[in-house]
Amino acid sequence: MDFEFTPEQLEFVKDVEQFLDDNYDPEVFDVTRENMAQIVDTPKRRAFMAKLGEQGWLGITWPEEYGGKDGDGVYEYLLNEALAARGGPQIGKGVGIIGKTIISHGSETLKAEFLPKILKNEVEFAVGYSEPNAGSDAASMQLKATKVDGGWMLNGQKTWTTSAHFADWYWVGARTDTDAPKHNGITLFLVPMNHPNITIKAIWTMGDERTNEVYLDDVFVPDDYVVGELNRGFQYISEALDLERFTLFTYSPTAQRLDLLTEYVKGATRDGQPMKDDPVVRSKVANLHTEAEVARVLGLKFVAASTAGGAPPTTQASEYKLFTTEFSRRLANASMDLAGPGGQLRVHTEEAPMAGRSESTYRYTVIDTIGGGSSEVQKNILARRKLGLPKNF
């Protein structure tokens, strides 16, 4: 494959960078929030995303019949990387997980109601897959949907639902057939988050970000808000997770942190000696730069596979997610080691090495290896789908 971008693609990047320069606001952009910067949780951030919609960039890869531009996936990749490099909100689950699933599998009613709002950033979503006993193994979800006249009654609990405290709609998976194998019998629903029988409780992560527990007690969902076919929800979730594993974990913030560490090593000393002359340090930094290039190329491989047609690029998504998040964690660990005791000072501490960035990323990157399917899950996917190993190997 060609790893270079075309003149048209580079011109698009220039347009995006100019737009970001023109709309810079420190309340919207914060690189120290790492990949959690994509969460749109303030009026200013929502307004910024609405401006992206006005540019026609939110649905740049959607079909024209649904308001998109039929653009190649590389444009979505370039846009997301540019946004992530500034620490800004990204196109996220509305355009990707929800929008693309509705386009592929949703009813005309759902398309008419939600797709225009997504393109204008007039609606925010929370995604409900994980449960207390079904974290990385989403197929084990037990939140129950019982058929009633005109719709379904949902009862159960979800956990780790980021965005639940400000989202407008809940994209939630529930078990509609308790007798079917666990990968079957799951259906997707769209539920308004202001439903009186939904209770949201905060969970604060080690990265200082909020996620949530969500309790649903006799939550009625009309039949019109069933997404796609009954009992095929896990298949839709699997398709969408490939997008999530790629779009949630952008490369550009990791590359920035590597540059920050490299510049620090160039000027730092240990026991009066330049750190850059230490052969152990030089080897560590060289290895990190090599791994960074591998992460970048794995991302481009996913983009190429996603635009080539055919089967969804499941293994490429898992390869990218596994390697990039684990590399990001190794980079954070190396930054803490090389910064020494001062690396434990909190982010934005001016006198700290790298302004305390290593301390915050040390905490954030642990979360990255879990979100969107843990590293262990990605290894299982690769073992089965790429290497052909049996489930009980």
CATH number, domain containing residue 340? 1.20.140.10
Spatial separation of the C-alpha atoms in residues 190 and 192, rounded to whole Å: 7
Domain assignment of residue 381, yes or no: yes
Residue where a domain stops, chosen among 179, 203, 231: 231
Residue 69 C-beta-side C-alpha neighbours within 13 Å: 16
Same domain, 165 and 267: no
**Is the separation of the CB atoms in 302 and 320 below 8 Å?**
yes
Same domain, 215 and 290: no
pTM: 0.90
List the domain range (segments joined by +) for residue 196.
126-231
Strands 144-148 and 125-128: unpaired
Same domain, 77 and 171: no
pLDDT digits (tens), the chain, 393 positions: 667 899 999 999 999 999 999 999 998 999 888 777 667 678 899 999 999 999 999 999 999 999 999 988 889 999 999 999 999 998 878 998 999 999 999 999 999 999 999 999 999 999 999 999 877 677 889 999 999 999 999 999 999 998 999 999 999 999 999 999 888 999 999 999 999 999 999 999 888 889 999 999 999 999 999 999 999 999 999 887 766 666 678 899 999 999 999 999 999 999 999 999 999 999 999 999 999 999 999 999 988 887 766 666 788 989 999 999 999 999 999 999 999 999 999 999 999 999 999 999 999 898 888 888 889 989 998 999 899 998 765
Domain assignment of residue 99, yes or no: no
Q: What domain count does the chain have?
A: 3
CB atoms within 10 A of CB 366: 15
Spatial separation of the C-alpha atoms in residues 358 and 337, rounded to whole Å: 9
Domain assignment of residue 352, yes or no: yes
Domain assignment of residue 240, yes or no: no
Cα dihedral value 117, 49, 300, 302, nearest 10: -30
Domain assignment of residue 163, yes or no: yes
Domain assignment of residue 108, yes or no: no
Same domain, 72 and 158: no
Domain assignment of residue 121, yes or no: no
Same domain, 281 and 193: no
Which structure tokens are listed for 96? 């990707």
Same domain, 15 and 71: yes
Domain assignment of residue 1, yes or no: no
Same domain, 264 and 379: yes
